[in-house]
């Protein structure tokens, strides 16, 4: 459906305004679709992001600083997210032997199992949000989004 129909707005000041609004609307739409897919697993998209980062580093640990640097949402409270995931036994926090001020964060087998289960779903396509795109269109979209960010 066209953005004009989705938000019930017929005119935009410019193609740039239309594209900006469309990007924001679509971003929220994809986020909502992913949230819905994660909800039965009792994790948020931000928690999913932390688990993905940890799996990518596995078996090496990550610090809160590393997680902060790699988060998709830079406004996320990583310490709070880590604590929630620790209570769910999806990761562990241990004192770093080399630097007692630092905490090593590792994904647990339970966390790896959850990600493997989620890999079986269509979460990588945005809960089906990208299903309408061909691979070449998805590549083109990524290229254009990279260009937007300069």
**Helices within 39-128 (DSSP H only):** 45-57, 64-70, 78-87, 109-119
Other C-beta atoms closer than 10 Å to the C-beta of 101 total 6
Distance between CA atoms of 132 and 139, rounded to whole angstroms? Answer: 13
Domains and CATH numbers, the chain: 1-41 (no CATH), 42-122 (1.10.10.10)
Which pTM does this prediction carry?
0.89
Distance between CA atoms of 50 and 74, rounded to whole angstroms? Answer: 12
From first to last of its 150 residues, the chain has per-residue pLDDT tens of 799 999 999 999 999 999 999 999 999 998 888 898 899 999 999 999 999 999 999 999 999 999 999 999 888 899 999 999 999 999 999 987 777 788 999 999 999 999 999 988 767 665 567 878 888 998 999 999 999 999
């Amino acid at each position: 459906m066209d953005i004009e129909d989705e938000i019930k707005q017929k005119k935009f000041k410019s193609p740039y305004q239309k594209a900006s609004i469309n990007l924001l609307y679509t971003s929220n739409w994809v986020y909502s679709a992913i949230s819905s897919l994660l909800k039965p697993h009792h994790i948020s998209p931000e928690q999913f992001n932390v688990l993905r980062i940890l799996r990518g580093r596995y078996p090496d640990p990550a610090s809160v600083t590393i997680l902060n640097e790699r988060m998709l949402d830079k406004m996320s409270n990583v310490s709070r997210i880590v604590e929630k995931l620790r209570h769910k036994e999806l990761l562990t926090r241990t004192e770093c032997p080399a630097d007692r001020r630092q905490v090593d964060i590792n994904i647990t087998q339970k966390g790896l199992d959850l990600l493997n289960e989620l890999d079986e779903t269509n979460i990588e396509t945005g809960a089906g949000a990208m299903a309408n795109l061909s691979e070449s269109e998805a590549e083109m979209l990524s290229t254009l989004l990279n260009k937007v960010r300069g």
